[in-house]
C-alpha cells in the first residue's frame, strides 16, 4: 500500500483497488463502551488547542449541573461541544451536543461520549477476534518496514479468475499469512530478521479481452447461460491457450503483467539484488513454463548446478547467479522501458534500462 498524507488516502501499488481513507488518530471517542474511534481532524485540532491551554482550569457550572469547562467546536454540526473536568494534570473530557444530528461523527448515547487523547492498546485478558487481527496486522506492518526484501515471487493464477467470487489478491494474502506462520515455526529469529519474501499477484486474465468471448456470448442460449458462464470463466481459458489464434495474446498478457510489476518493484527498490521467482498454479504453471522455455538468455535455471561448478567471482557472474531470469534488453522487446524513461530520474534510467525487462514474449506459441 502507498499512502498519500496530503490527500489522506492510501491505495495498492501492485494491483488495482479502491482508495482507503487515512485518519490521523489523535483524539478518540468511545463508542458503545467497546471501541475507540478517531474523531475528524478538524474536531481533533480544536480539542488539542483546548488541551494545551488547560481549559479545565476555567470550569464553571453548566446548565446540566456539571462543573466543567465548555469548548464549542466549530464545524458542520451545530451545538457540538466538549466538556472538560479535572484539576491540575488530571482531567476528563466528554463530547456532547445541544441538539440532534451528531450521526456524522460518532453515535451519541446518554449525556455524551468519553474522549481520550492518544491511542492506547487494549490490555484485556481475553482480547476479541478484532483485537487479535489488528495485532497481527500491526506486527506484519512493523516486520515489513524493518526487514528488506531478498526474494521476489510473482504469483501467476490459473483458470477461474473470471468467476464472481474469485480474488487473486485475497488468495495471495492468505498464502502470505501461511508462509509467515511456517517461517515462525521453522526459521530462526536471525533468518527472519535479515530477509523476507515478497509475494506479488500477477492478474494476467483481468483486462484481457479475446474476440472469441464475444462470439460465445452471442450464441449462448438463455436456458444454459449459467453453465456457459461458468465454462467460459474456467475451462475456456485452456481451450483459448491451445488455440493458435489466441495463444500469443495470452502469452503477451502474462509477460506484460510480469514486466510491469517488475518495473514497479525496481522503481521502489532501486538497489535490489535478490532472487526473482515465478509461482504458477494450474494453467498459470503451464504459461510460466512455456514462457521460461522460450527465453533466449535464461540465467541459471538450476541454481544448485551452478553452485557445484567453478566460475570466476566477477561482478557479472555474481549477478547472474542471483537472478533466475535474464535482465538484458535487446532491441524493442518491451514498450515498458521507453515509457518508464519519462517518469524516472535520469540517474535511474540506465539501471532500469538494463533490468526492467524480466521476460521476452516472442516464440512461446
DSSP notation for 184-224: HHHS-HHHHHH-EEEEEEE--STT---HHHHHHHHT--GGG
In this prediction, residue 271 carries a pLDDT of 85
d(CA 135, CA 141): 10
Quote the pTM value.
Answer: 0.65
Instruction: State residue 289's pLDDT score.
Output: 93
pLDDT of the residue at 123 = 63
Selected catalytic residue, list 166, 277, 282, 300: 282
Q: What is the pLDDT of residue 361?
A: 67
> 72 near 95, Cβ under 8 Å?
no
What is the DSSP pairing of strand 196-202 with strand 149-156? Answer: parallel
- Residue-wise pLDDT tens digits, 174-225: 999 899 889 989 999 898 888 899 999 999 998 888 888 888 888 877 777 7
CB 183 within 8 A of CB 229: no
Cα–Cα distance for residue pair 363/224, rounded to 1 Å? 38
Largest CA distance in the chain: 88
Alpha-carbon torsion (131, 133, 134, 138), positive or negative: positive
- Mind spelling out the 3-state secondary structure of 174-189? HHHHHHHHHHHHHCCH
3-state DSSP call for residue 169?
A: helix
Q: Give the residues of the chain that fall short of pLDDT 50.
A: 101-110, 300-304, 306-308, 313-354
Instruction: State yes or no: is 282 an active-site residue.
Output: yes
pLDDT at 65: 67
- Calculated CA dihedral for residues 164, 169, 170, 171, nearest 10 degrees: 90
Dihedral of CA atoms 8, 12, 18, 20 in degrees, nearest 10, equals: -30
C-alpha cell at 71: 469548548
- What is the number of H-type helices and E-type strands within the chain? 13, 13
Burial annotation 150-169 (CB, 10 A radius, 16+ → b, else e):
eebbbbbbbbbbbeeeeebb
Give the model's pLDDT for residue 105. Answer: 44
* pLDDT score at 322: 39
Amino acid at each position: 500500500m502507498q499512502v498519500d498524507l496530503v490527500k489522506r488516502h492510501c491505495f495498492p501499488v501492485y494491483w488495482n483497488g479502491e482508495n482507503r481513507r487515512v485518519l490521523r488518530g489523535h483524539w478518540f471517542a468511545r463508542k458503545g463502551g467497546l471501541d475507540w474511534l478517531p474523531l475528524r481532524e478538524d474536531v481533533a485540532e480544536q480539542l488539542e488547542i483546548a488541551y494545551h491551554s488547560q481549559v479545565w482550569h476555567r470550569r464553571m457550572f453548566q446548565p446540566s449541573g456539571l462543573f466543567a469547562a465548555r469548548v464549542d467546536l466549530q464545524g458542520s454540526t451545530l451545538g457540538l461541544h466538549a466538556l472538560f473536568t479535572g484539576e491540575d494534570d488530571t482531567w476528563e473530557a466528554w463530547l456532547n451536543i445541544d441538539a440532534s444530528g451528531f450521526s456524522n461523527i460518532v453515535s451519541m448515547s446518554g449525556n455524551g461520549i468519553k474522549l481520550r487523547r492518544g491511542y492506547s492498546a487494549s490490555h484485556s485478558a481475553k482480547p476479541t477476534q478484532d483485537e487479535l487481527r489488528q495485532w497481527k496486522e500491526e506486527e506484519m506492518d512493523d516486520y515489513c518496514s524493518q526487514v528488506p526484501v531478498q526474494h521476489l515471487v510473482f504469483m501467476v493464477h490459473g483458470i477461474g479468475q473470471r468467476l464472481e467470487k474469485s480474488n487473486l489478491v485475497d488468495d495471495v494474502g492468505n498464502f502470505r499469512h501461511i508462509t509467515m506462520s511456517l517461517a515462525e515455526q521453522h526459521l530462526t529469529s536471525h533468518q527472519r530478521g535479515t530477509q523476507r519474501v515478497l509475494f506479488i499477484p500477477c492478474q494476467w486474465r483481468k483486462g484481457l479481452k479475446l474476440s472469441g468471448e464475444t462470439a460465445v456470448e452471442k450464441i449462448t442460449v438463455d436456458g444454459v447461460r449459467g453453465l456457459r458462464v461458468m465454462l467460459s470463466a474456467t475451462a475456456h481459458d485452456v481451450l483459448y491457450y491451445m488455440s493458435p489464434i489466441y495463444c500469443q495474446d495470452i502469452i503477451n498478457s502474462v509477460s506484460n503483467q510480469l514486466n510491469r510489476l517488475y518495473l514497479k518493484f525496481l522503481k521502489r527498490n532501486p538497489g535490489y539484488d535478490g532472487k526473482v521467482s515465478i509461482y504458477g498454479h494450474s494453467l498459470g504453471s503451464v504459461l510460466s513454463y512455456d514462457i521460461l522455455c522460450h527465453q533466449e538468455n535464461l540465467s541459471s535455471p538450476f541454481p544448485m548446478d551452478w553452485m557445484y561448478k567453478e566460475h570466476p567471482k566477477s561482478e557479472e557472474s555474481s549477478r547472474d547467479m542471483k537472478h533466475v531470469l535474464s535482465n538484458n534488453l535487446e532491441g524493442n522487446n518491451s514498450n515498458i522501458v521507453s515509457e518508464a524513461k519519462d517518469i524516472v530520474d535520469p540517474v535511474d534510467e540506465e539501471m532500469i534500462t538494463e533490468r526492467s525487462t524480466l521476460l521476452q514474449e516472442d516464440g512461446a506459441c
